[in-house]
Structure 1
Amino acid sequence: MNRTNRSSTTISVAIVDDHALFREGLREILEAVHDIAIVGEAGDSSAALELVAETRPDVVLLDVEIPGDEVTETVTRFRSISPETQIIILSMYDGPQLLTRLLAAGICGYLLKSVHRHELIAAVRSVYEDPARVVLAVSRHSLAHVEGPPVGVLSEKEQEVLQLAAQALSNGQIARCLGLAEATVKRHMRNIFVKLNAVSRIDAVNKALAASLIPPQSRKEVD
């Protein structure tokens, strides 16, 4: 997916929720925005998987309690079918354990359904513009009790990706070096951010160096 000319690009969004009235409300909100287009709706996990496979949307808004597969399984299958699709969970529930599991599964956003429309729109734009970003609109309690993977639990491939990121290589350059798809590199970077509780590439590299997760010589000196 080419996102180099973002200012003139329409963000494709799929809505997955078993309540038709809620889907209609989301559609009305998002269709009123000039840079967002709804490509389809689904009311259960099976239909959602078909929708994602067919449309490969930029962003999926996924209700946490849709009928069918458990939500983390649905997220995992989304990631397999369409790696570049960004997944934002919409939920009535604010629980740190579920949030932790979903972050580990690869979501890039978790919003309570009580958020205002401008927060929803901002979240969709944010994860589209920066696939490595994670957007959360939950209580302070959940943020304080999210049990992320312990620092140090980076896979071998994540370590390789981060070592190359430390040398100031772009996602595309890292992908070529490792023989991976760029979408796969982005997914590894997002997982690294979650595992290290990092807010940027530099932050992730610094935390990894401090924890001896990558060798010091990985770091490229930047003026």
Structure 2
Amino acid sequence: MINVLLVDDQPLLRMGFRLVLETQPDIAVVGEAGDGAEALAQVASAGPDVVLMDVRMPGMDGLEATERITRDHAGSRVLILTTFDLDEYAFAALHAGAAGFLLKNVQPAELIAGIRTVAAGDGVVAPRLTRVLIETFTRRNPARPGSADDPRLGRLTDREREVLIEMAKGLSNAEIATELGLSEATVKTHVSRILPKLGLRDRVQAVVLAYQTGLLRPP
């Protein structure tokens, strides 16, 4: 059973998410919170597997709450819910350790799949927002000519480099496994080795590195 905490300052949105999630036999909503401080208290008491986190809330916002949750409650993973445009808060929340982010107008099936993916230890980013994220990072930090020879990339095996490229395309572990003809367990092993070799915290940072070094170019 995947235990989920809903964090949003709009009660109607929380109710809508609850109605969607409670139709699933493997997902249980264990609590709701209207701001970051309340979310921290709920995480401490309920220990959810996944926290669906709004960003802009009164009092403690979702960014600070995400930072504290990822620092103090490693068993709870944060999935950011953001509006149509990628705002700076959501952008910063990924740096704070969020496992990914989805649009608030996401289709129910996508939301459910995203929660399951995050609960399984993988990352999830809405495809359109992946493009915005990449464009933002590459605009701020354009790849340098020849930077694909970054010494950090030299720490990877050829197969790990292939996995990193597929990760940077936004593929899940299951999709990478299909693309490279590997088992999903093997892909998870590669990912678990790639991140520490590159000194990275999560898949989002891996995506950023791949584009910053020029290993993969924006479409």
TM beyond 0.5: yes
2:101 to 106, 110, 114: 110
Question: Structure 2: any 5+ residue segments left out of the alignment?
Answer: 144-151, 161-185
Name the structure 2 match of 1:136: 126
Q: What is the aligned-residue identity percentage?
A: 35
C-alpha spacing 1:64/1:97, structure 2 compared with 1 (3 Å): closer
Deviation at 1:107, TM superposition (A): 1.2
Name the structure 2 match of 1:196: 209
Letter in 2 for 1:146: T
Assess if the C-alpha contact under 8 Å between 1:99 and 1:146 holds in 2. no
Q: TM-score, normalised by structure 2?
A: 0.64
Q: TM-score, normalised by structure 1?
A: 0.63
Structure 1: how far apart are the matches of 2:87 and 2:135?
6
Deviation at 1:29, TM superposition (A): 0.5
Deviation at 1:193, TM superposition (A): 2.2
What is the aligned-residue RMSD (CA, Å)? 3.8
Give every structure 1 segment of 4 or more consecutive aligned residues whose post-TM-superposition deviation is greater than 4 Å.
148-151, 168-171
C-alpha spacing 1:39/1:25, structure 2 compared with 1 (3 Å): same
Q: 1:52 aligns to what SS in structure 2? A: helix
Letter in 2 for 1:111: L
Name the structure 1 match of 2:8: 17
Structure 2: how far apart are the matches of 1:190 and 1:140?
12
Structure 2: how far apart are the matches of 1:106 and 1:194?
14
Structure 2: how far apart are the matches of 1:12 and 1:57?
5
Assess if the C-alpha contact under 8 Å between 2:99 and 2:202 holds in 1. no
Question: Structure 1: any 5+ residue segments left out of the alignment?
Answer: 1-9, 152-158, 179-186, 199-206, 211-223
Structure 2: how far apart are the matches of 1:35 and 1:27?
13
Structure 2: how far apart are the matches of 1:90 and 1:134?
11
C-alpha spacing 1:189/1:89, structure 2 compared with 1 (3 Å): closer
Cα deviation code 1:23-62 (max 9, x no counterpart): 1111111010011011111111111100011122110001
Name the structure 2 match of 1:146: 136
Name the structure 2 match of 1:74: 65
Count of aligned pairs: 176
